[in-house]
């Protein structure tokens, strides 16, 4: 893609595991390490990156030459989302082909400005948008976000299998909500179980990029439009995101050998 060196998909097999929160903080962590970073919110039905980046409702992208439009910028991140195109209070009652068409337009008609990394916040599942992404552009790798419990791991496995079928490298797994930490009393509890990230990483010969706690501040800061990495840069959560960002950048550099080829099996 013009203006983009590396595309990284951030995906999960199911919703509610904190994929979008991981995406925006990972983007900000990469930016803090000197990379030029963009975020494409591919969740057409439920876009959330606009709020997490603090973009006010009603702000629209400007038109550019050749029937393209310019991404918006927030916290040094270039961003494109369906939330910039429509009233976010309206339900997107669209069939699959319309959703895919909207995603393709954002993917191919956004004029990204010399990005090192474009992070794509994927919708849950393994459907049309995931397949369209793999067919349309060379994806450097995928980051899988999961929580430790077995139900989430079932769907995370499907996400890994899907990317493997289209020959997109899985860069690793982020285990979110791995440990609940009470910010008042300091008590810790493994609410969703333990070892889930390690089990799936061992099963698919990949790595655990990092483990993130279940804390109130991560949610509050993302909701406020100033995610943890910029609001609390010296916190343990931000340091974890910095470590994940470094591993992702190193993995992409090590594995990049041109775009993936597409293969299908019955």
Query: DSSP characters for the chain?
Result: -TTEEEEEEEE-SSSSSSHHHHHHHHHHHHHHTT--EEEEE--SSS--HHHHTTPPTT--PPEETTTEEPPEEETTEEEEEGGGTS-TTS-----HHHHHHHHHHHHHHB---SEEEEEEEPPSSSSHHHHHHHHHS---EEEEEE-SSHHHHHHHHHHHHHHHHTT--EEEEEE-S-SEE-TTT--EE-TT-SSHHHHHHHHTT--EEEE--B-HHHHHHHHTT--HHHHSTTSHHHHHHHHHHHHHHHHHHHH-SSPPPP----
Question: Is 225 marked as a binding-site residue?
Answer: no
17 is in an annotated binding site: yes
Decide: residue 259, CB within 10 A, 0-12 exposed, 13-18 middle, 19+ buried. middle
Domain assignment of residue 36, given as a range: 4-255
What is the percent of the chain where pLDDT is above 70? 96
Whole-number pLDDT of residue 69: 93
pLDDT in tens, 46-98: 899 999 999 999 999 999 988 899 999 999 999 999 999 988 788 888 888 99
> CA 9, CA 247: separation in Å to the nearest integer?
15
Looking at the domain assignment, is residue 175 inside a domain? yes
| Residue 262 counted as domain residue | no
Establish whether 15 is an annotated binding residue.
yes
Tell me if 83 is assigned to some domain. yes
178 annotated ligand binder: no
> Which pLDDT score is estimated for 176?
94
pLDDT value for 256: 65
The list of the chain residues with pLDDT below 70 reads 256-266
Residue 193 lies in a domain: yes
In a domain, 260, yes or no: no
13 labeled binding residue: yes
pLDDT of residue 35: 98
At 21-35, the pLDDT tens digits run 999 999 999 999 999
What confidence score (pLDDT) does residue 255 get? 73
Number of domains in the chain: 1
In a domain, 264, yes or no: no
CATH number at residue 139: 3.40.50.300
User: Residue 237 has which token pair?
Assistant: 């959560």
Domain for residue 266, yes or no?
no
* Entry pTM: 0.91
Q: Whole-angstrom Cα distance, residue 217 to residue 194?
A: 22
Residue 159 near residue 126 (C-beta atoms within 8 A): yes
pLDDT at 123: 92
Residue 265 confidence (pLDDT) = 47
State yes or no: 195 annotated in a binding site: no
The reply, when asked if residue 259 is annotated as ligand binding, is no
Tell me whether residue 16 is annotated as binding.
yes
Looking at residue 195, its pLDDT comes to 84
């Amino acid at each position: 893609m013009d203006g983009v060196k590396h595309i990284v998909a951030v995906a999960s097999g199911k919703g509610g595991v904190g994929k979008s929160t991981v995406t925006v903080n990972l983007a900000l962590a990469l930016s803090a390490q000197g990379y030029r970073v963009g975020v494409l919110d591919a969740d057409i039905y439920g876009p959330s990156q606009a709020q997490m980046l603090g973009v006010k409702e009603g702000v629209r992208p400007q038109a550019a030459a050749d029937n393209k439009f310019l991404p918006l910028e927030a916290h040094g991140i270039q961003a494109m989302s369906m939330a910039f195109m429509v009233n976010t209070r309206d339900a997107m009652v669209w069939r699959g082909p319309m959703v895919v068409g909207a995603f393709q337009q954002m993917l191919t008609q956004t004029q990204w400005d010399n990005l090192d990394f474009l992070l794509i916040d994927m919708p849950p599942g393994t459907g049309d948008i995931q397949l369209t992404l793999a067919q349309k552009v060379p994806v450097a790798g995928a980051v899988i976000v999961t929580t430790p419990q077995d139900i989430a791991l079932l769907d995370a496995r499907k996400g890994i299998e899907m990317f493997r079928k289209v020959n997109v490298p899985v860069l690793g797994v982020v285990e979110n909500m791995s440990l609940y930490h009470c910010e008042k009393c300091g008590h810790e509890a493994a609410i969703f179980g333990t070892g889930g990230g390690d089990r799936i990483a061992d099963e698919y010969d990949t790595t655990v990029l990092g483990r993130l706690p279940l804390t109130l501040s991560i949610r509050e800061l993302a909701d406020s439009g100033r995610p943890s990495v910029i609001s609390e840069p010296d916190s343990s959560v931000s340091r974890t995101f910095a470590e994940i960002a470094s591993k992702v950048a190193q993995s992409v550099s090590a594995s990049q050998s041109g775009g993936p080829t597409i293969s299908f099996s019955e």
